[in-house]
Amino acid sequence: MLHYTAMASCEAARDRLCDPAFEVSAHYLIGADGRIFGLVDEHMRAWHAGAGAWRGRGDVNSRSIGIELDNDGAAPFPEAQMAALEALLPGILERWSIPPAGVIAHSDMAPGRKVDPGPRFDWRRLARGGLSVWPTDLRPAPCDPAAFAAALSRIGYPEEVDPETLLSAFRLRFRPWGRGALSAADVAQAQAAALLHVDPGGASA
């Protein structure tokens, strides 16, 4: 699961993630300059996800690897940081048998509560390297709310969330340029994304 830190510096984020008083942690922290900090052993539970669900299951902390990116959510993610993430992910996916579709955003499992890593994160770049998914085979679709909801459920989004919040979460991940009410383009993108998602098993990245 990918996050941004929204902290003043990488060092401030590292100190926060390592301070038991704050009850928040992550397995990895990647600085804007590409430095990778291993903070929690992958076999240990880290407190990075919080309340939410993915693919019908809660307690995402117990079945995910949390990666924090030193970023405020408004700035682009630097090349050095993206390259470091691309170097880190393959080993995690191999060790835990996580398919590319199992690499998710914090906002995916906590719609409305979280927005990271945000609209500036380059998911298409990860997908080109086989480290995430990005739909490209879009087919025309009517603006059907029921079809959109069914596609999001297949992807893994929590079904109990209201439609407007789900739309916002989906757009953060797959259509950051999308605005306004649900559109046929949203439905087409969601249905194409759903075809790329398989059950990632016991863990998510």
CA distance 159 to 188: 19
Residues 6+ apart with CB under 8 A from 8: none
The catalytically annotated residue of 11, 42, 68, 86 is 68
Burial of 6 (0-12, 13-18, 19+ CB in 10 A): middle
Residues 6+ apart with CB under 8 A from 108: 54, 156, 157, 169, 173
Question: Catalytic annotation on 68?
Answer: yes
Write out the two tokens for 33.
């300059």
Write the secondary structure of 18-66 as one string of H (helix), E (strand) and C (coil).
CCHHHCCCCCEEECCCCCEEECCCCCCCCCCCCCCCECCECCHHHHECC
Catalytic residues: 68
